[in-house]
Amino acid sequence: MENEVEMGGSESHDEHQIEDLNQRLEQMMEEKPKAQNDMPSVQDPAAAAAAQASREEVDSRSVFVGNVDYSCTPEEVQQHFQACGTVNRVTIRSNKYGQPKGYAYVEFLETEAVQEALLLNESELHGRQLKVSAKRTNVPGLKQFRPRRVGFRSRSTHMPPYLCPYGYGKVPRFRMPMRYNPYY
């Protein structure tokens, strides 16, 4: 009799767990469409090309400002470049701790304002000489390929006579056989 009571208790516990799991499953099914809407879908090449074109267009209206004082605010940088044209946005980059990195990007509404802003190269703001140049468009993967320098050989063709690669003292004075090296 005692065994039957225990079994009945464990069955009710199992049923309770199953009900909990079913409730969680229903909640997850309700949240699934919301999560799919929030996640960005894989872009088709046409959308990616359009995004790249708009990014290049924004970059053509922007300038890079180097050697910006750490105490400068975006409003002060905007005031400095206001004479060139209408400033759309000023971005002062900062590190992961929130301290400014010492450079900024200024985006204008007109592309003609970029040429005016380039004339402000070596002007002073907060006692520091600014370096103004046109903003470059970031090309993903540009730094991945580094060509090998011509004429550079990483390994020598023969070993010096008194150096043994294994550290067993002096070696006889004969030329070591060349190791196969297809990319020298």
Contact (Cβ atoms closer than 8 angstroms) between residue 96 and residue 145: no
The burial class, CB within 10 Å (0-12 / 13-18 / 19+), for 100 is middle
Kindly give the pairing relationship between strand 131-134 and strand 62-66. antiparallel
Taken in order of first residue, the domains within the chain and their CATH numbers are 54-134 (3.30.70.330)
* More confident of the two residues 182 and 117: 117
Tens digit of each residue's pLDDT (9 = 90 or more) over 14-28: 888 999 999 999 988
Give the highest mean pLDDT range of 2-6, 22-26, 37-41, 46-50. 22-26
Q: How far is CA 155 from the centre of its chain?
A: 34
pLDDT of residue 34: 76
92-97: Cβ within 8 A, 24+ apart: 92/68
Contact (Cβ atoms closer than 8 angstroms) between residue 123 and residue 104: no
